[in-house]
Amino acid sequence: MAGEPQADCLFCKIVAGTVPATVVRETETTVAFRDINPQAPTHVLVIPRLHYPDAASLAAAEPNVTADVLREAGEIAAQEQVDEHGYRIVFNTGAGAGQTVFHAHAHVIGGRGLQWPPG
Ligand code: AMP
Ligand code: ZN
């Protein structure tokens, strides 16, 4: 069924607690944890508990959960005090754009200068 946990998915394992993560916030629908290979002083991933391969498929199936992910991204930016200076919410989509984990996730990146356009 759509949204069901996938046995071979790393982020489903983090949701289930069978792979450890440094969790910074949790809600009924989302989990947020520090990226294992941070690209900035603040680099947190926000994921839905439900499994969808990318942000667009999550949004098509679960608009409310998608809003939860975005709201949590904002809450993390405030918690990490990067909101005043500015931060970035990134959804890499597809291998050609750098997506390596095919469970939808928002990168919340801040705490340093951020170039535009991104690489
Ligand atoms: P993406 O490349 O957009 O799919 O993002 C996947 C992110 O997950 C990368 O930034 C990785 O550093 C991060 N990552 C991979 N394994 C783990 C893990 N076990 N705990 C936390 N973050 C991870
Ligand atoms: Zn998953």
Q: How close is the Cα of 31 to the center of ligand 1, in Å?
A: 14
Is the CB of residue 93 below 6 angstroms from any atom belonging to ligand 1? no
pLDDT tens for 25-50 read 999 999 999 999 999 999 999 999 99
Q: How close is the Cα of 99 to the center of ligand 1, in Å?
A: 9
This prediction's pTM: 0.98
Atom of ligand 1 nearest to the CA of 101: 4
pLDDT tens for 70-103 read 999 999 999 999 999 999 999 999 999 999 999 9
Is the CB of residue 64 below 6 angstroms from any atom belonging to ligand 1? no
Question: Which among 100, 105, 109 is the best mutation to test ligand 1's pocket, defined by most ligand atoms within 8 Å of the CB?
Answer: 100
Who's near 112: CB < 8 A, 6+ residues apart? 40, 41
What is residue 1's predicted lDDT score, i.e. its pLDDT? 74
Listed by start position, the domains of the chain span: 10-110
What is residue 68's predicted lDDT score, i.e. its pLDDT? 98
Tell me what the mean pLDDT of segment 58-73 comes to: 98
- Cβ-contact 74, 27 below 8 angstroms: no
Q: Which residues are catalytic?
A: 105
| Fold classification of 10-110 (topology level) | HIT family, subunit A (3.30.428)
